[in-house]
């Protein structure tokens, strides 16, 4: 049997002030093993990762790192786990860059001279790696042509790859990756998985935290966590998920257009982000918006939500009114409900889960007084999505998946005329995807319009009948 890297013995794992997600939990990772940690939303995957890296303390039990002892015996100057291990969580909130110090629309409004943090600077900040090594790692993760781009403007998938690259440039003895494939299209997922697989073959110690259906073939062992139990562990044995079928109520067509884009072109920094896009969406239609990373999806949605300043220089009409004719941004946002990975990153306020969802009534991120009827609507959605027990928990203490469920409820709570869901099911297990997808099919009213962005066609609600495909800024409607 090989030497252990780390070992948890009869541990109780919980975030400060929260309930224990793991009790009497023991787990040992040994040299030569590559583990994936999977389980449903709220099972404690991210909390376990934080405990391993010392970000939260065990309430009971022991955590030992024999790897540190072996490195010290070999003459390495290591004192803490953080000296040898790196964790790439969902959100970047470091001294270098914090979403709490920025606002969502800033990623579309910045001037290059005002934003000193380029991708290249971000990557070099993690280690004294030479420029050629930075360029090589960036190239292997598909970022070679982005090194001069401001970090704040990277897409969701690009940001994920950038943070993996930065961690690797630090040459960690152990790397813990939290959902490394989130936000990546099929080609991007395959490329990153192949790259990580090569690194594992070269000796990288790696622990993946991910959905069960995202576990790569080169993973040797899997730890499956349940809801507040000690989970099961052993050799990898992955069965295809069974997702129940749902009803597909018909959506009546309406002649009333609510979105009209006419020859829309968006440029920035010499790059064409949208190229002569013409598109009409009518009330009650259900659209999928598809396309690879960097194809223009985020830019398109930012025009519709009132977040991109170039909406004013293009012919963009929402609910029959052209942008730039005297409307306020809140007039644009009032009939729209949105959730997206980027919005999630910027949602950092100190609210409870229920109060976070209630901000959807007011289109901002700060708390407002709500009526009993509004409170009842939040409670109803929380019950439907299995969030009832979390209503009073601080939003920031929830797992990534739980936060995404809360923000999905936020997008739906005011029953908006236009529902924009940008990769809403990221990090969800198959049962949670099915529950939410079926809810959309059954509960969106015929006059509500849906735009659903996803890299995974099986996630699409069954009422989706139209598709807009984007590629290099060009759009094709089907």
- Residue 271 and residue 214 share a domain: no
- Residue 213 and residue 325 share a domain: no
- Residue 270 and residue 204 share a domain: no
pLDDT top residue among 111 and 281: 281
pLDDT confidence band for 104 (50 / 70 / 90): very low
Q: Which residues of 268-305 are buried (b: 16+ CB within 10 A; e: fewer)?
A: eeeeebbbebebebebbbbbbbbbbbbbbbbbbbbbbb
pLDDT at 249: 44
Checking if the pLDDT of 238 tops 50, the result is no
How many angstroms separate the CA atoms of 320 and 341, rounded?
28
Mean predicted confidence (pLDDT) in 9-16: 92
pLDDT at 230: 42
pLDDT at 400: 87
Which residues contact residue 478 at a Cβ distance below 8 angstroms, ignoring those fewer than 6 apart? 466, 467, 468, 469
How many angstroms separate the CA atoms of 140 and 250, rounded?
45
pLDDT at 243: 32
Mean predicted confidence (pLDDT) in 86-100: 63
Share of the chain above pLDDT 70, in %: 87
pLDDT at 388: 93
pLDDT top residue among 343 and 326: 343
- Residue 202 and residue 340 share a domain: no
Report the predicted TM-score, pTM, of the whole model to 2 decimal places: 0.83
- Residue 261 and residue 222 share a domain: no
What ranges make up the beta strands (E) of 291-427? 315-318, 321-322, 336-339, 418-422
- Residue 298 and residue 214 share a domain: no
pLDDT at 184: 83
* Token pair for 413: 């709570």
Q: Specify if 276 maps to a domain.
A: yes
- Residue 274 and residue 228 share a domain: no
pLDDT at 94: 52
Domain total for the chain? 2
pLDDT digits (tens, 9 = 90+) for 123-136: 988 677 888 999 99
Q: Specify if 472 maps to a domain.
A: yes
Q: Specify if 31 maps to a domain.
A: yes
pLDDT digits (tens, 9 = 90+) for 393-411: 999 888 889 999 999 999 9
Range of the domain at 453: 257-477
Checking if the pLDDT of 313 tops 90, the result is no
In the sheet that holds 232-235, the strands lie side by side as 85-88, 174-178, 205-209, 35-38, 221-224, 232-235
Q: Specify if 241 maps to a domain.
A: no
pLDDT top residue among 42 and 356: 356
- Residue 373 and residue 285 share a domain: yes
Query: What is the SS3 assignment for 243?
Result: coil
- Residue 192 and residue 288 share a domain: no
pLDDT confidence band for 211 (50 / 70 / 90): confident
Q: Which of 201, 235, 269 is the last residue of a domain?
A: 235
pLDDT top residue among 320 and 220: 220
pLDDT at 416: 95
Do 282 and 255 meet the contact criterion of CB atoms below 8 Å apart? Answer: yes
- Residue 213 and residue 300 share a domain: no
Residue indicated by tokens 């908006």: 416
Residue indicated by tokens 């709490």: 100
pLDDT digits (tens, 9 = 90+) for 142-154: 899 889 888 887 8
- Residue 303 and residue 154 share a domain: no
Q: Specify if 90 maps to a domain.
A: yes
pLDDT digits (tens, 9 = 90+) for 242-272: 333 333 444 455 568 999 999 999 987 778 8
- Residue 216 and residue 314 share a domain: no
Mean predicted confidence (pLDDT) in 59-63: 96
Q: Specify if 245 maps to a domain.
A: no
pLDDT digits (tens, 9 = 90+) for 359-389: 999 988 888 999 999 999 999 999 999 999 9
Q: Specify if 356 maps to a domain.
A: yes
pLDDT top residue among 17 and 50: 50
Tell me the CATH number at 366. Answer: 3.40.50.300
Q: Specify if 151 maps to a domain.
A: yes
């Amino acid at each position: 049997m090989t030497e252990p890297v780390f070992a948890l013995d009869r541990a109780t794992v919980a975030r400060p002030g929260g309930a224990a997600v793991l009790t009497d939990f023991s787990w040992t990772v040994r040299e030569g093993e590559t583990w994936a940690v999977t389980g449903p939303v709220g099972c404690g995957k991210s909390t376990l990762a934080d405990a391993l890296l010392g970000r939260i303390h065990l309430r009971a039990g022991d955590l030992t790192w024999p790897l540190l002892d072996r490195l010290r015996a070999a003459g390495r100057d290591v004192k803490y786990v953080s000296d040898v291990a790196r964790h790439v969580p969902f959100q970047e909130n470091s001294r270098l860059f914090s979403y709490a110090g920025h606002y969502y629309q800033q990623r579309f409004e910045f001037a290059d001279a005002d934003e000193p943090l380029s991708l290249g600077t971000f990557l070099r900040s993690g280690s004294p790696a030479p420029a050629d090594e930075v360029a090589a790692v960036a190239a292997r993760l598909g970022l070679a042509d982005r090194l001069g781009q401001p970090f704040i403007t990277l897409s969701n998938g690009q940001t994920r790859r950038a943070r993996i690259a930065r961690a690797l440039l630090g040459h960690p003895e152990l790397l813990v990756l939290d959902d490394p494939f989130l936000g990546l299209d099929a080609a991007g997922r395959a490329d990153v998985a192949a790259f990580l697989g090569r690194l594992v073959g070269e000796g990288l110690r790696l622990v993946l935290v991910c959905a069960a259906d995202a576990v790569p073939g080169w993973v040797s062992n899997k730890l499956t966590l349940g809801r507040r139990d000690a989970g099961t562990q052993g050799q990898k044995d992955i069965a295809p998920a069974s997702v129940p079928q749902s009803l597909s109520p018909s959506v009546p067509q309406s002649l009333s257009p609510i979105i009209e884009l006419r020859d829309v072109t968006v440029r920035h920094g010499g790059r064409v982000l949208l190229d002569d896009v013409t598109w009409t969406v009518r009330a009650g239609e259900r659209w999928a918006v598809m396309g690879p990373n960097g194809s223009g999806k985020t830019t398109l949605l930012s025009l519709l939500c009132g977040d991109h300043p170039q909406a004013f220089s293009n012919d963009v009409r929402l609910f029959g009114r052209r942008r730039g004719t005297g409307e306020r941004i809140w007039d644009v946002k009032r009939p729209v409900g949105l959730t997206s990975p980027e919005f999630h990153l910027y949602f950092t306020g100190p609210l409870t889960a229920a109060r976070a969802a209630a901000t959807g009534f007011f289109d901002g991120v700060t708390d407002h007084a709500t009526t009993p009827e509004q409170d009842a609507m939040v409670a109803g959605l929380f019950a439907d999505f299995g969030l009832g027990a979390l209503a009073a928990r601080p939003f920031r203490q929830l797992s990534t998946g739980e936060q995404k469920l809360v923000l999905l409820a936020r997008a739906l709570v005011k029953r908006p005329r236009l529902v924009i869901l940008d990769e809403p099911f990221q990090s969800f297990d198959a049962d949670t995807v099915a529950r939410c997808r079926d809810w959309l099919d059954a509960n969106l009213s015929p006059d509500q319009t849906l735009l659903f962005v996803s890299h995974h066609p099986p996630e699409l609600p069954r009422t989706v009948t139209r598709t807009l495909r984007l590629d290099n800024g060009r759009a094709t409607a089907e």
